[in-house]
Structure 1
Amino acid sequence: MSKTPSVFRFPIAIGRSAVCRLFSIFFFLSSFFSFSQVTSSIDSTKIKIGAQITYKISVESEPSSLVVFPEGQTFSPLEMIESYAVDTIKNKDKFNLIKKYGLTQFDSGKYTIPRQKIIIGDKTFFTDSLKVEVNNVVVDTTKQGLFDIKPIIEVKKQGSDWWKYLLMALLIIGIIGFLMYWFIWRKKPLSEAEQIALLPPYDRAKLALKKLDESHYLESAAIKDYYSELTFIIRKYLDEKVYDRALESTTDELINRLKLLKEGNQVELSNEDIRNLESILKRADLVKFAKSAVDVDLAKLDRNTIDIEIDHVKEALPEPTEEEKLLDEKYRGELERKKKRKKIIITVLISVFLLVATFVGFSIKYGFGYVKDTLIGHDSIELLEGEWVTSAYGFPPVTVSTPKVLKRTEINLPDEIKAQMDVTNFQYGSLLDFFNINVSTTVLKQESQEPIDLIQASEKTIKQIEAMGVQNILVKNEKFVTPNGAEGLKTYGSAKFPIISTDKFYEGEYVILQFSTNKVLQSISMSWRKDDVYASKIVERILNSVELKKAEE
């Protein structure tokens, strides 16, 4: 016979009470451990008017968890005057994150710091509310003199630092432009070799003879080097003005070519000039290749002969025709254009390289999509990074931070509906835009016996959206709690929104927050493109800023 488990051997009455106590303890411990990773505290529960309270939130989390602390004026009725950096302490395999805020209040009274919303990973936690007493500062008017109220002093609005970034950008562009000018476009002073290269062939040959005279070849008996320079001078001149292969031809080939040109009346050289050139070139060949000894005086004589023959060659050459001069001018012009084109290509390549390098650098740091959208322009990123506005809309007020001030719009209602309720509506954009925000407050003129059913209100709102042409609406509902503790219903999901003036649709997402009392329905709705990451960040920031106050407050 099998034994009954011991847990069932208790008497029924005792068993039931024990089980109840066990479940109570279990739920208490579960609740404790669920919220033990988020705690809050203040350094003082009583302060004077204007004194600062240090509000501290401690979070214990895994290293991989993303923790989002509250930002903005979520501590109302107390005012946040400073938000300190998060301190991180490693505790074994976890992190303790400590976030401090400086809070104050300028009216005496007893206040409650509302629960604060903390997001850890994909979970949401709330701190406990804390009570603070703010006392007046007692002033002894018998000892303290009284003074007149000081006039209002106009304070100029402090501008942004955009001019610093502009100045820095202009400075960098100026430095790059100066370097390009200095190394590419500037007309650099010509070197001696470049100045000589620009001279006509005749002048270059004469200058080369003068430099040969200044050399010390003859003094050191370097006859071979002397004749090598001397023959190179005459060959170079003939190569440029008479025969374009004079430098690479042998002596016999060059002399035969000169004789042919003379016979063809292309060069008016005398036979004596040709014989003089032949004699000097052959003597140079003997000195260079046969190591023949030549007297210094003979070398000087040959140098003078070459000087004369250069003059004779110049006189023997026919004057260039107008066509040749024009071709020569075109050639020089083409050379200048090639140089300018080369400079332009180098400048463009350097500029493109710098732009690409800058784009890649910013893309690595901030992300490709962010840099692309910043350069090209993106409506949502301009909203996200613009100056946000925190304002209260309707009555009872709905306080919310938005990228733009919401404008009040009139809603045309039938007379029978107007007799039953008052509706105020504020919005940016419309449901058919790629991004829109809408805040509305509906106040029933007659007190209702039952509270407004938020589920039914949400269903009516979805039907209204469908009536505007929105299709494939996916609906999800969940409880929503504002940072200051107001509870409501969050309806969200995806849908296909029509594009204005077309028959096309875009994939979008929406969220609707609804809060109610006996006769008041407050609603905040937004819709945006599904692939718009900046719009998603805008929505998240707006949702974290929502605060509600009761009419009597």
Structure 2
Amino acid sequence: MKEKSLITKFKFGAASLLLFLLFPFLSFAQQAKVNAGIDSTSIKIGEQIIFSIEVETDSTNLVVFPEGQTFKPMEMVESLGADTTTVEDRFKLLKKYSLTQFDSGAYTIPQQKVIIQNREYLTDSFRLEVANVKVDTTRQKMYPIKPAVDVPKGFEFPKWIWWLLAALVLLGVAFYFFRRKKKKQEEVPELPPYEQAMLELKQLDDSSLLPDREIKEYYSQLTFSVRKYLDRKIYDRALESTTSELIAYLELRKKAGELSLKDTSIGNLQQLLKRADLAKFANSRPDVITAKSDRTKVEHFIKDVRQVVPEPTEEELMQDENYRKEKLQRKRRNKIIAILGGVIVAALVVITVLINTKGFDFVKDSVLGNETKELLEGDWIRSEYGTPQVSIITPEVLVRKTVDRNDELQEMLLGSETFDAGTLEGNLYTLLITGPVNPQGDFDLQKAVDGIYTSLEARGARNIIIKQEDFSTINNTEGIKVFGTFNLENPVTGGPIKKEYAILNFGANGGFQQIMVVFNEGDEYAEEISQRIENSVQLKN
């Protein structure tokens, strides 16, 4: 029994020892797994690599991947989303990062920290080589550094212009308010001569000039009323005439039989005017009774004149009505002119400010419009043309064009398709030619390029300047670029139009492809259009 008990104890101890030894391995089997890797160990400057972190863990665990610029000296371009897959009762997460570097050299991507259920795990570090982009000088021509060019200063207005504009604005505002005030004064309707004179006499009676012994002012208003009445009815210079001149004119009209006033009426007016002259200029002070008597004499004189001066005829009234209408139209016309003048001044101020801040070309293009600018800023279209297929982006869709070609190039092709937009004489002209090469012929791309001069000359180009360089499309198709300037006769004026051109030539995919852009020399918008078209060319199989 004792021996059996010892054996049992030994078996139990051995099992416990085995379980103790296996426990760490069983626990480790339940732990998370973290692996990392990169898709390339060497890149060129500016290229990107993919850094991947793979985590395998229990589905209930929380996983936190590194975020931010933790990959220095590498620069994180983009943090891609994590992909999740299920393996039995465990999750497998795959997180990717896009990294790059813009300086050549050897770099080490540091260890990255991954947190799983509050426990930290570190990935491996990786070595990466970043190489310079090599330039093949045998295929890419090298040009000397251009000398420094003095750039003229932008157009600026002198400071005194702004002070002058400010003064003009202030004068315009002052003139506007002055005209407005004068207009309000003129708009007060004036009564007919007799009614107006009676109204002024009544206002004089209601005043306090006589009780206050303001004799001088009283006689001034009294004589003004009678003179104004005579000015409107008989003598249009009665207001500025002296007393003797006015009386002499009335007596002359009476002797001529044109004015049948009584001598007593003229005499009373003469005495009144002389007394008023003494009161105004010699400090004479007639008594109140005399002043009231003179006021009565003025009223009688006005009534006498009204009786002897005939009322205006219908024709005179119509003439007066036409005069008033003409005067009203003149006022309206002056108002319109003033408003237009204000608008013009405001427009000039705005244009001046825009020219000074934005430049003359900006104002010209915005006000008058610019066809090539509108094309550049409009919607561009990518289209595919002909066989072999050419894909380009243009501001306008190229339209198929039928062309009879008898040149040497046509002999090297089985046929060709031509597409264009615009006209050669216009602001922008785009031409595309593509066609399969004749297998029986002797096609030579350089020979086709050499025929460009003859082709341009046949279309009316003169003083042609041709430059040539190698060209490569975005999908690495090699070709030849021909560019330069030429003159074209203006069909309207007969003068020369200076043109710039760029022609891309390819012999790819068993065919010949040519893209030409022609635009006016110095048109920066058209030049940018040409660059965008060149950069978009793709030749497809």
- The higher radius of gyration belongs to 2
Taking the aligned partners of 1:229 and 1:280, their CA distance within structure 2 comes to: 12
- Which residue of 525, 528, 531 corresponds with 1:537? 528
CA deviation after TM superposition for structure 1 residue 459, in Å: 1.4
1:143-542 matches, within 5 Å, as 194-195=187-188, 198-320=190-312, 324-325=316-317, 327-364=319-356, 367-369=359-361, 371-372=363-364, 375-376=367-368, 378-394=370-386, 397-409=389-401, 421=414, 423-429=416-422, 435-444=428-437, 453-497=444-488, 506-517=497-508, 519-542=510-533
CA deviation after TM superposition for structure 1 residue 539, in Å: 0.9
Taking the aligned partners of 1:412 and 1:192, their CA distance within structure 2 comes to: 81
Taking the aligned partners of 1:383 and 1:471, their CA distance within structure 2 comes to: 27
Taking the aligned partners of 1:292 and 1:502, their CA distance within structure 2 comes to: 85
SS at 2:292 equivalent: helix
* TM-score (norm. length: structure 1): 0.58
Change (3 A) 1:53 1:366: farther
CA RMSD of aligned residues (A): 4.6
CA deviation after TM superposition for structure 1 residue 412, in Å: 6.2
Taking the aligned partners of 1:529 and 1:54, their CA distance within structure 2 comes to: 44
Do the aligned partners of 1:444 and 1:519 also contact (CA within 8 Å) in 2?
Answer: yes
Q: Which moves more between the two structures, 221-230 or 514-523?
A: 514-523
CA deviation after TM superposition for structure 1 residue 207, in Å: 1.0
Taking the aligned partners of 1:305 and 1:382, their CA distance within structure 2 comes to: 83
Deviation per CA, 1:291-332, whole angstroms, max 9, x where unpaired?
A: 444332332232223222211121122344566555544543
Unaligned runs of at least 5 residues, structure 1: 1-35, 60-114, 125-179
2:76 alignment partner in structure 1: 43
SS at 2:464 equivalent: coil
Taking the aligned partners of 2:223 and 2:210, their CA distance within structure 1 comes to: 15
**Residue type matched to 1:219 in 2?**
P
* TM-score (norm. length: structure 2): 0.59
Deviation per CA, 1:21-59, whole angstroms, max 9, x where unpaired?
A: xxxxxxxxxxxxxxx9x8565636994699998788979
Do the aligned partners of 1:447 and 1:519 also contact (CA within 8 Å) in 2?
Answer: no
Taking the aligned partners of 1:388 and 1:507, their CA distance within structure 2 comes to: 26
- Over the matched positions of the two proteins, sequence identity in percent amounts to 37
Do the aligned partners of 1:447 and 1:518 also contact (CA within 8 Å) in 2?
Answer: no
Do the aligned partners of 1:374 and 1:381 also contact (CA within 8 Å) in 2?
Answer: no
Taking the aligned partners of 1:323 and 1:494, their CA distance within structure 2 comes to: 77
Q: Which moves more between the two structures, 462-471 or 50-59?
A: 50-59
Deviation per CA, 1:345-369, whole angstroms, max 9, x where unpaired?
A: 3244334444544554554555444
Taking the aligned partners of 1:253 and 1:502, their CA distance within structure 2 comes to: 72
Do the aligned partners of 2:210 and 2:288 also contact (CA within 8 Å) in 1?
Answer: yes
CA deviation after TM superposition for structure 1 residue 206, in Å: 0.8
Do the aligned partners of 1:380 and 1:535 also contact (CA within 8 Å) in 2?
Answer: yes
Change (3 A) 1:427 1:441: same
Unaligned runs of at least 5 residues, structure 2: 1-43, 49-74, 84-94, 104-132, 136-142, 146-172
Taking the aligned partners of 2:345 and 2:391, their CA distance within structure 1 comes to: 49
Q: How many residue pairs were aligned?
A: 392
**Residue type matched to 1:494 in 2?**
T
Taking the aligned partners of 1:364 and 1:52, their CA distance within structure 2 comes to: 52
CA deviation after TM superposition for structure 1 residue 208, in Å: 0.8
Query: Relative CO higher for 1 or 2, CA cutoff 8 Å, sep ≥ 6?
Result: 1
